[in-house]
């Protein structure tokens, strides 16, 4: 254990460069490179950030991406990826990668799951075959995939069901200890995941227990799954007080621009979400004046780029009129340009957030940004928000 | 007419740099740039070469792309594109563009078409609305689109039906004369399209008639639509003798690598086809050792690029194993990488063909290339050829 910790210490570090209120700017170092925080992490579920080649991700300034243990275990298989040299080599992304544990997908995607204290048995959503994940198995799969940051296997219950959260939290904590014991690769950092729903005592209990295991980073799990925004931000604020300040905090599954800003206001360092690329494929685009539906007829002859203040490839070269045509015609290029833009938007936002923190003007930045994004009656034509 | 010809002469020219046997290397100049021939022209049916951003097309060395009058007339509309500054600006492709006349699509895609000597009435495949194309309308639409090279409106009958070809050829010739008369933009070159099916006398009659109208270029239409390969190459050879040597010859709808080489052997300067991008989306890839089906299980752990001798982005960075995974998972990135590769393959092939012609070694090049591509019992694993 001591040897592992020393080896980890050489490969991984988290340095807080600056705090501004509760907002934090730092640098997380991994064997495949450094991540400047606060960071948005694009999601590459099946070993590709949907529609975006790695070359473009680099140009957009992505420093770390996610991949998904559940999906890659089922297809093409974690052992195949290990034989192909691991995920970095397999997907030609030589920069940091984080894999989630598969827990969330087992509970949300698979069919006929059966949970017991030892693990979860589930049916593949691809071909109906039966599989079993235990904490040890989730770690072994993630070691095969070889990401820089890997996650504990956890249970993600409905956030407002206190009885279920009590049971699930006991399991999540036992599984965290087993993941910690099973994890052997010195070039990977294993993060704990705090659960506890919307209940302060459970969240604090979770933070205490996980901290006692001394993980190199802590995720806030079980949010953005149906609870109110007020509840979500309240839990994040509690976690800010409960988690150790010297370790990175990763908010799982959050990617709305306003949510990212409000999470950073409450001490979050990292967040991930499929939102930018999923919205893109459905025709919804982020702009500094709010979200717009690019399929809306009002953009049919709009010569402006998606967001006139964006400098991504899509916005430097293509009009809303053209992109709307591509979307209406079902062309892949439309999904590509929209995905590029929405991802660029969040990465650029987080760079601006970080600069504001370092310059000690984050609160003013956040207020102005949120006011503009959320303003109603904007003079710019707005589409019907896409509900996803 | 004289003024237009002079003006055209300033914007357009075709210079034959070298011939080698019947193969020709030349340069076709247009208002948006020069095209080195023999040239393969990627097809951007709906104002996008499917899945390939213009930036990548430039990097692959595409010098001219096609767009489709029938599709763009229906969606988003040629008048909308004209208001948006024309097709070059609309799709952010500042290089040469060729639009076909819509004739082929009216006959192959639309429903309930009714042909008379004045034009064709047809039902949109998108929404069932009724439309009518005449030669004058096809020219007006193409003037709205604003491509550098536009095509006469023609009728494309089954190639072996002599009676139908006699009737259709009369109409195609009358329509060519009307297109010639209707065409007014001096910055566009209008090409004639020779028809006549697989019948030598009709093909020669078509070449004579169109040549009398003095077009700046001539297309060989009505091939690659079901006739035998032997018939196709026989017709191309006849056309080589019948068409003026000083003008470019454009073979419509051909994109199989071996067909391109054999067409160049018979005096063809330009060709277009959706094949590279359509095959790509179905998982079939060109390699110097023949076409392979990248979905084949034998590539699941194949560390080599699609084609080890290709220097495209897909082949420089990604393994067959990864690309197969992307295709199996239905990921857009898989279609993107395959489309990039197949298009790069044909563009690279045509550059090699041109270099061989200029160096007077085309016949040897062609024989060696065809022998390798068509070799059976290749030592490299081959997938089942995709039938499309």
Over residues B137-157, mean pLDDT: 97
- Assign A321 to helix, strand or coil: helix
Q: Which residues, including other chains, have CB under 8 Å from residue A11's CB and lie 6 or more apart?
A: A29, A30, A31, A186, A187, A189
pLDDT of residue A388: 40
Nearest C-alpha in A relative to B334: A51
What b/e readout covers A216-241, taking b as 16+ CB neighbours within 10 angstroms? bbbbbbbbbbebeeeebbbbbbbbbe
Catalytic residue among B20, B272, B289, B307: B272
Substitution target in B73, B84, B334 with the highest count of A β-carbons within 10 Å is B84
Across the interface, of A90, A301, A313, the residue whose CB is closest to B83 is A301
- Say if A322 is an interface residue toward chain B (CB within 8 Å): yes
Integer Cα distance of A22 and A268 in angstroms = 9
A28: alpha, beta or left? (left if phi > 0; alpha if psi -120 to 50): beta
CB contact A46 to B (< 8 Å): yes
CA separation for the pair A187, B118 (Å, rounded): 74
In this model, does residue B288 exceed pLDDT 50?
yes
| B54–A319 C-beta distance less than 8 A | no
CATH number assigned to the domain covering A2-272: 3.20.20.105
Please give the pLDDT value at position B379: 42
Which of 3.20.20.105, 3.30.1120.130, 2.60.40.420, 3.50.30.30 would CATH assign to domain B2-273?
A: 3.20.20.105
CA distance A247 to chain B (A): 34
Q: Does A319 touch chain B (CB under 8 A)?
A: yes
Position B384 confidence tier, pLDDT thresholds 50, 70, 90: very low
| CB–CB contact B322 A51 (8 Å) | no
Q: Does A313 touch chain B (CB under 8 A)?
A: yes
| DSSP code, position A387 | P
Distance CA A371, CA A60 (A): 25
Using the Cβ of A83 and the Cβ atoms of chain B, whether some distance falls under 8 Å is answered with yes
Determine the pLDDT at residue B135: 98
> 3-state DSSP call for residue A31?
coil
CA B164, CA A361: separation in Å to the nearest integer?
78
Which one of B92, B324, B333 has the shortest CB-CB distance to A48? B333
CB atoms within 10 A of CB A284: 23
Residue B330: Cβ-neighbour burial (10 angstroms; 0-12, 13-18, 19+): exposed
A193 with A252: CB under 8 angstroms? yes
pLDDT tens per residue, range A246-291:
999 999 999 999 999 999 999 999 999 999 999 999 999 999 999 9
Give the ipTM: 0.95
A80 near B CB under 8 A: yes
Token pair, residue B92, equals 């952010």
Let me know: does B250 contact B271? Beta carbons within 8 Å.
yes
- Which residues of chain B make contact with A303, given a CB cutoff of 8 A? 84
With contact defined as beta carbons under 8 Å apart, do A327 and A338 qualify? yes
Q: Work out the average pLDDT over B10-38.
A: 96
Burial of B264 (0-12, 13-18, 19+ CB in 10 A): buried
CB-CB neighbors (< 8 A) of A52 in chain B:
333
Q: Is A17 helix (H, G, I), strand (E, B) or coil?
A: strand
**Tokens 């061989």, located at residue:** B356
pLDDT at residue B382 tops 60 = no
- Mean model confidence pLDDT for chain B: 94
Give the pLDDT of residue A58. Answer: 98
CA distance A79 to chain B (A): 11
Is B154 in the active site? no
pLDDT digits (tens, 9 = 90+) for A129-170: 999 999 999 999 999 999 999 999 999 999 999 999 999 999
- Asked which of A354-368, B8-22, B131-145 is least confident by mean pLDDT, the reply is B8-22
The answer to which of A2-11, A87-96, A232-241, B100-109 has the lowest mean pLDDT is: A2-11
Task: Give B76→chain A minimum CA distance, Å.
Answer: 6
What pLDDT score was predicted for residue A382? 39
Listed range (A101-115, A318-332, B222-236) with the worst mean pLDDT: A101-115
Q: Is the pLDDT of residue B386 over 60?
A: no
| Confidence label for B9 from pLDDT (cuts 50, 70 and 90) | low
| Separation in Å, CA of A52 to nearest CA in chain B | 7
pLDDT tens digits, B52-107: 999 999 999 999 999 999 999 999 999 999 999 999 999 999 999 999 999 889 88
pLDDT at A3: 42
Cross-sheet strand order for the sheet of B119-123: B111-116, B119-123, B130-133
* Average pLDDT score over residue span A229-235: 98
Closest residue, chain A, to B126 (C-alpha)? A329
Distances (CA, A) of A209 to A49, A202, A234, B249: 34, 10, 20, 77
The reply to whether residue A321 touches residue B46, judged by beta carbons under 8 angstroms, is: no
Sheet holding B33-37, edge to edge: B13-20, B23-30, B33-37
Q: How far apart are CA A92 and CA B1, in angstroms?
A: 58
> Which tens digit of pLDDT belongs to each residue from B322-367?
999 999 999 999 999 999 999 999 999 999 999 999 999 999 999 9
Residue A31: the pLDDT is 97
Confidence label for A95 from pLDDT (cuts 50, 70 and 90): very high
Q: How far is B314 from chain A (nearest CA, A)?
A: 10
**A9-23, A228-242, B344-358: least confidently modelled range:** A9-23
Nearest CA in chain B to A317: B92
* Pairwise CB contact (< 8 Å): B75 & A51: no
Segments in chain A forming alpha helices (H)? 2-11, 54-60, 69-74, 78-83, 87-90, 103-108, 135-145, 162-182, 200-212, 229-242, 257-264, 275-281, 313-317, 320-328, 332-358, 362-374
Residue B338 touches chain A, beta carbons under 8 Å = no
Which of the residues A45, A47, A48, A334 would you substitute to probe the B interface, choosing the one with the greatest number of B C-beta atoms within 10 Å? A48
Mutate to test the interface with A, among B76, B281, B326 (most CBs of A within 10 A): B76
What is the share, in percent, of chain A residues with pLDDT greater than 90? 90
Domain extents in chain B? 2-273, 280-374
Q: Which of A43, A46, A59 to mutate to test the interface with B (most CBs of B within 10 A)?
A: A46
């Amino acid at each position: 254990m001591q040897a592992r910790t020393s080896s980890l210490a050489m490969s991984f570090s988290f340095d807080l460069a600056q705090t501004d209120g509760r907002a934090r700017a730092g640098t997380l170092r991994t064997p495949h490179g450094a991540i400047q925080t606060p960071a948005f992490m694009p999601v590459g579920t099946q070993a590709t950030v949907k529609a975006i080649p790695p070359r473009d991700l680099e140009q957009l300034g992505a420093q770390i991406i996610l991949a998904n243990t559940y999906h890659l275990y089922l297809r093409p298989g974690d052992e195949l990826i290990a034989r192909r040299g691991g995920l970095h080599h397999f997907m030609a992304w030589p920069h940091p990668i984080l894999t989630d544990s598969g827990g969330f997908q087992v509970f949300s995607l698979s069919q006929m799951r059966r949970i017991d204290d030892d693990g979860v048995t589930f049916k593949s959503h691809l071909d109906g075959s039966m599989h079993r994940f235990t904490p040890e198995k989730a770690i072994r799969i993630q070691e095969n995939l070889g990401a820089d940051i890997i996650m504990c296997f956890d249970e993600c219950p409905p956030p407002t069901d206190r009885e279920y959260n009590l049971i699930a939290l006991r399991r999540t904590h036992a599984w965290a200890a087993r993941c910690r014991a099973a994890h052997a690769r010195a070039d990977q950092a294993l993060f704990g995941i705090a659960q506890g729903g919307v209940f302060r005592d459970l969240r604090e209990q979770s933070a205490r227990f996980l901290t006692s295991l001394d993980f190199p980073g802590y995720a806030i799990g079980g949010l953005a799954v149906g609870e109110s925004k007020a509840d979500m931000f309240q839990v994040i604020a509690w976690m800010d007080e409960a988690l150790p300040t010297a370790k990175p905090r990763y908010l799982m599954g959050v990617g709305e621009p306003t949510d990212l800003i409000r999470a950073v206001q409450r001490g979050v360092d990292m967040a991930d979400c499929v939102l930018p690329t999923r919205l893109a494929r459905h025709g919804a685009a982020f702009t500094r004046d709010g979200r717009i539906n690019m399929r809306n007829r009002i953009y049919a002859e709009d010569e402006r780029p998606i967001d006139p203040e964006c400098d991504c490839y899509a916005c430097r070269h293509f009009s809303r009129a053209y992109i709307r045509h591509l979307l209406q015609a079902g062309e892949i290029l439309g999904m590509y340009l929209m995905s590029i833009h929405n991802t660029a938007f969040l990465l650029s936002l987080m760079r601006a957030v970080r600069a504001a923190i370092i310059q000690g003007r984050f609160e003013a930045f956040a207020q102005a940004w949120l006011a503009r994004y959320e303003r109603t009656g904007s003079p710019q034509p707005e589409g019907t928000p896409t509900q996803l």
